């Protein structure tokens, strides 16, 4: 299940980052307009050039897109894998400084994929494409996403048991990784836990 983009954007805005949201349709634009966020139309199933134009002038990418739980394998490949690959290519063309990928817990471990093999395969190979690029990256692999309020307390490690985490706490972690250099070119699992986000990230 994809991270709610609006939650991530709201968290970034509160911390005085200048944000631009990439959206597919005007209905999405209305939600962002109410909180004063600039939007650009682009489709992850479209061309790389379309994404380049939408992201021109940005110094960081945060990829939270997902095909959702009600689509078939075709959309999973087109959005979660090829859409991510196009975004990585666009960021490379633009010379973007940083790329943060929101992946999925255990995407790096095939033995833990269970029944979600199409989805996990897409996430796994999108992460690999990013790791093999020249971009400064952080790959965050959250557990099952919850709509409840965040607690600010998380567990972060290379390999964690499957668990859950509020979307708001994932957004808080995304924000922190923008400036924590020890998370650059690193990947990790993320679930609810006992540590404040900043403290947990210090141990990555």
DSSP-assigned states of every residue in 63-132: E-----TTS-HHHIIIIIIIIHHHHHHHHHHHT-SEEEEE--TTTT-GGG-TT-HHHHHHHHHHHHHHHT
Is 94 within 8 Å of 51 (Cβ atoms)? no
Which of the residues 32, 61, 118, 119 is marked catalytic?
A: 119
Cβ contacts of 27 within 8 Å, gap of 6 or more: none
Known active-site residue 118: no
Pairing of strands 136-142, 60-63: unpaired
User: Which distant-in-sequence residues (6+ apart) come within 8 Å of 69 by Cβ?
Assistant: 1
User: Which residues are designated catalytic?
Assistant: 119
């Amino acid at each position: 299940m994809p991270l709610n983009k609006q939650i991530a954007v709201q968290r970034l805005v509160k911390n005085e980052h200048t944000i631009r949201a990439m959206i597919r349709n005007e209905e999405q634009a209305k939600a962002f307009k109410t909180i004063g966020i600039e939007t650009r139309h682009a489709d992850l199933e479209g061309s790389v050039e379309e994404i380049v134009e939408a992201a021109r002038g940005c110094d960081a990418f945060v990829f939270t897109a997902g095909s959702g739980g009600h689509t078939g394998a075709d959309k999973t490949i087109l959005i979660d894998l090829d859409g991510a690959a196009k975004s990585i290519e666009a960021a490379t063309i633009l010379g973007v400084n940083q790329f943060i990928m929101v992946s999925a817990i255990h995407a790096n471990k095939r033995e833990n994929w269970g029944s979600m093999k199409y989805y996990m395969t897409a996430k796994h190979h999108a992460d690999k494409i990013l790791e093999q690029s020249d971009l400064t990256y952080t790959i965050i692999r959250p557990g099952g996403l919850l709509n409840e309020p965040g607690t600010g307390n998380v567990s972060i490690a290379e390999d964690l048991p499957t668990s859950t985490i509020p979307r708001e706490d994932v957004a808080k972690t995304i924000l922190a990784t923008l400036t924590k250099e020890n998370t650059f070119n690193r990947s990790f699992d993320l679930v609810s836990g006992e540590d404040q986000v900043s403290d947990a990230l210090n141990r990555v």
